[in-house]
Structure 1
Amino acid sequence: MTKLSPERKSLDGVKDPALRRQLELLELTMPTAPKAPNQAQDTAKRSAPANDNQPDFFVPAVQDVPIKDGLDLMDIAVFRLAKSQTRKGDIIRHELPGVTITVAGGAHGMATIMDYDVVLMMVSHLAEQTRLHRQGRAPKPAKFFRPSSVEIFKFCRVSKGGASYDMLAESLRRLQGTFIEIAHNNAGKRSRRTGYFPLIAGADVISRTDTGRIGTVEIIIPDWMYDAVTSHTNPEVLTLDPDYFLLKKGLARFIYRLARKAAGTSEATYSFEAIHARSGSTRDIYNFTKDLRKLIELEQIL
C-alpha cells in the first residue's frame, strides 16, 4: 500500500475499509502542487557571495572596472571546462579555417575556465589603465599587475574563505604552465596573431597574510596580451556581464563567451558538433549534447 503523507493521516478516522480505500484512491489521482525549483541545482548561476556589492574601504576599486576579455580567443577554449580532469601534459587542438590553435597543459595541469577569471581581471585592469592613459589621467600601464588576493576575490565574485586562497595559488600555477600556439595553415586573410603565447608570463607572491596565505601577488602580463590592449586605437577586447562569474558550469561560461563574441553581427550559427569541437571537451558527443540541451532548457545563461 502507498505510504500516506502527513496530510493524509486524517483518513485514520475512517472506520469503513471500503470507504477508506475509495478515499485513498481519489486522493492519489488528485493533482499535487508543483514543487518549487531547487535553486542550487536548477539554475545556471550560483548565488553571489555575501556582501558582494558592498565596497571594501581597504581594497582598491579595480573590481569596479568593466570586465574585458580578449577578442581573439573568445570563440574557442584555451582552457579545460571540467574541474575533475587535470589534463597534465594534455593538448587541445582547434582546426579552424586558415588557422590551427594548440593549447598545451603544463606539469600542474591545464588551466581551467575558472582559472581564466584571473586573466579576465588582468585584461580588464590593462584596458582601464590604457583608457585613462590616453585621456592624460594616468601613466602608461606597466607590464606588472599587483592585485591583492581580496581584490581578486571581489572582482571574481567569490567568497574570501580559506578554500579561495588555495584555489588562487593553484590557478596561478596552472595559468603559468598553460601555453597557446597559433599557426596559420594557408596564405589567406590573417585574422589572428601567430606565435606561442602563455596565459600569464609569470607570477610572484609579494606579501602574505598573518596566516601565511597569499596577500598580494605580482603577475607579469604577457607581451601578446599587453600589445593587443595598449597598441591599438581600439583595444581588441569586449565587455562581459558581471554575472558571468556566477555561472556554475564551465560549459555555460564557454557558451556565453562564444555568444558574446558573435554579438553585434547579424547572427552566428553553430552546430552541436562545432560547439563540442570548439569547447575542447573530452565528453563524448552524445553526453556533451545532453549537457548542452540541459543548459538550453534552463533558458538563462545570463
Structure 2
Amino acid sequence: MDRHFLSLPKPLALRDMADLMVWPWFSLAKTPRRLPIVFEQSDVAILVEPTGALGLATIWDADLLLWVASRWTDILDIGRTPNRRLEVSPYRLLRDLGRGTGRHDYALLRAALDRLAATRVETTLRAGDLEGPARFRWLESWEPGKDGVVLTLPDWLFSAVCERRVLTLDPGYLALTGGLARWLYRLVRKMGGRQQGGGAIGLRRLHARSGSPARYANFVVGVRRIVAAGLPGYRLSIVRTGGEERLLFSRERTAANFSTTGCGRTVNALGTSLSDRIGTSALPVAGERAPDSESTPWPASPIRPYNVYNLNSNRILAADSKTPLPVDKPVRAGEVGS
C-alpha cells in the first residue's frame, strides 16, 4: 500500500486519463441515474451500469479518479513507482478539489465513494489479451485506514497512468458546475489538444458520445448554452455544414507579452475598450438549467443518513451515534491543509 499520498506537498496539477475523455463513462445529471450507459462505435463497446440503489457514478464523482491520477503522475515524476492500493487524506482531497470540509462535504464524499464502488464497467477499450471486454468497478474497495482512507483502484485505470496516457486539465475545469459542460470540456481538450487548429464534431455524434438520455433537441439547447458561456481555454462555435450542425473548437490565443521596452509614444485611453459588451454573454444567466438538470455536482435525492465526521486522523467513518464528534474547522486563508 502506498502512503506517500499523505505527504505530497506540491499543489495539485489536475490530470485526466485520455481514455476517459471522449467516451460516455459517467452520469451527467445530479439526480440518480439508474439507466445503464450502452455505447458502441466501431471496435469500441462500453457498458456502464449501477449495481445498487445509489445509481451510476457521476462526472463529479470522477473528480476523485482525476485526483488519484494526478497524484500517481506526481509520484512517477519524482521517480517512484505508485501502487494501485493507496491511503489518502479526505481533508487533503477535498481541499485539492476546491470543495468544503464541513460535515456535509464529508457525507457527499462518502456517497461518491459508494457510487464509484457500486458502478460496474465493461469495455473493449484497452481490453488487451482478454477474451471479451475488460470488467471492473471504478473503485474496487475503500475502507478507513490508519491516517486516512484506503482506496484500491482497478488495474485498468492504474495501467493507463503508468503508461502516461494522461492529459493536463485547465484548473478552471473544477469550477464548471454543469455535468454536460464538464464532459464537453474533457472531449474538447482531448480532441482539440493544444494546437491552435482545434477540431470539429457533429452535434448528433456528440449527443451519442455523451451517453446522455436527454432528447437530442434538449441536448443541443444545452450545448448552445455552453457555447455562449465558453469553456476554459477554448473558443466554441456552432456552424451548419453539409446539412448538419457541427461544434467547432479551438484554443484561445495566449495574451501577448507586453514586457517590452517603451516605444516613446504616449498612450491614450489606457485600459478602455471601444466595445460596451466585451466579455458578456448573450444569455442573462450563462449555463442556467432546470432544477433537475445536469447543472450541479451533487444528487438532489437525500443521501443515506450517515453521521460522517473527520477525526484527527482525517478518516471518513459512518457513525450512527446521536452525538457525533464535531468536524474539523475549515482551514483559514493562508493555512496549509494536512
Could you tell me the TM-score, scaled by structure 2's length? Answer: 0.61
Q: Who is 1:148 aligned against? A: 89
Q: What does residue range 130-169 of structure 1 map to in structure 2 within 5 Å?
A: 130-133=76-79, 138=80, 140-169=81-110
Q: What does residue range 101-180 of structure 1 map to in structure 2 within 5 Å?
A: 101-107=46-52, 108-133=54-79, 138=80, 140-180=81-121
Q: What CA distance in whole angstroms lies between the structure 2 residues aligned with 1:74 and 1:227? A: 16
User: Are positions 1:78 and 2:78 aligned together?
Assistant: no
Q: What CA distance in whole angstroms lies between the structure 1 residues aligned with 2:10 and 2:95? A: 6
Against the structure 1 CA distance between its residues 62 and 97, is the aligned structure 2 distance closer, same or farther, given a 3 Å change threshold?
Answer: farther
Tell me how far 1:299 sits from its aligned partner: 2.6
Q: What CA distance in whole angstroms lies between the structure 1 residues aligned with 2:50 and 2:117? A: 10
Determine if contact 1:130/1:229 at 8 Å carries over to the other structure.
no
**Going by fraction, where is helix more abundant, 1 or 2?**
1
Identity %: 30
Deviations 1:118-160 (A, max 9, x none): 0001111111112212xxxx4x222222111111111111111
Determine if contact 2:181/2:231 at 8 Å carries over to the other structure.
no
Against the structure 1 CA distance between its residues 60 and 176, is the aligned structure 2 distance closer, same or farther, given a 3 Å change threshold?
Answer: same
Q: Who is 1:243 aligned against? A: 172
Tell me how far 1:77 sits from its aligned partner: 2.3
Tell me how far 1:101 sits from its aligned partner: 1.2
User: Are positions 1:202 and 2:202 aligned together?
Assistant: no
Q: Secondary structure at 1:146's aligned position in 2?
A: strand
Deviations 1:208-251 (A, max 9, x none): xxxxxxx7211112111222222x3xx11111112211101011
Tell me how far 1:63 sits from its aligned partner: 6.4
Q: What does residue range 4-83 of structure 1 map to in structure 2 within 5 Å?
A: 60-61=7-8, 64-83=11-30
Runs of 5+ consecutive residues of structure 2 not aligned to the other structure: 1-5, 234-338
Q: Who is 1:252 aligned against? A: 181
Tell me how far 1:95 sits from its aligned partner: 1.5
Aligned residues: 220
Tell me how far 1:277 sits from its aligned partner: 1.2
Q: Who is 2:280 aligned against? A: none
Could you tell me the TM-score, scaled by structure 1's length? Answer: 0.67
Tell me how far 1:301 sits from its aligned partner: 4.1
Tell me how far 1:62 sits from its aligned partner: 5.6
Determine if contact 1:63/1:155 at 8 Å carries over to the other structure.
no
Tell me how far 1:60 sits from its aligned partner: 4.1
| AA at the equivalent of 2:214 | R
In terms of mean alpha carbon deviation, does 155-164 or 108-117 score higher?
Answer: 155-164
Q: What CA distance in whole angstroms lies between the structure 2 residues aligned with 1:229 and 1:294? A: 33
Q: Who is 2:254 aligned against? A: none
Q: What CA distance in whole angstroms lies between the structure 2 residues aligned with 1:64 and 1:122? A: 13
Determine if contact 1:204/1:218 at 8 Å carries over to the other structure.
yes
Q: What CA distance in whole angstroms lies between the structure 1 residues aligned with 2:199 and 2:138? A: 27
| AA at the equivalent of 2:39 | H
User: Are positions 1:275 and 2:206 aligned together?
Assistant: yes
Tell me how far 1:197 sits from its aligned partner: 2.7
Deviations 1:40-83 (A, max 9, x none): xxxxxxxxxxxxxxxxxxx7446613211111121012110001
Against the structure 1 CA distance between its residues 73 and 255, is the aligned structure 2 distance closer, same or farther, given a 3 Å change threshold?
Answer: same
Against the structure 1 CA distance between its residues 62 and 220, is the aligned structure 2 distance closer, same or farther, given a 3 Å change threshold?
Answer: farther
Q: What CA distance in whole angstroms lies between the structure 2 residues aligned with 1:289 and 1:256? A: 15
Q: What CA distance in whole angstroms lies between the structure 1 residues aligned with 2:220 and 2:187? A: 16
Q: What CA distance in whole angstroms lies between the structure 2 residues aligned with 1:130 and 1:299? A: 33
Q: Max radius of gyration: which structure?
A: 1
Structure 1 vs Structure 2 CA RMSD: 2.2
Tell me how far 1:264 sits from its aligned partner: 4.3
Tell me how far 1:111 sits from its aligned partner: 0.3
Tell me how far 1:300 sits from its aligned partner: 4.0
Q: Who is 2:157 aligned against? A: 225
**Going by fraction, where is strand more abundant, 1 or 2?**
2
Q: What CA distance in whole angstroms lies between the structure 2 residues aligned with 1:61 and 1:91? A: 37
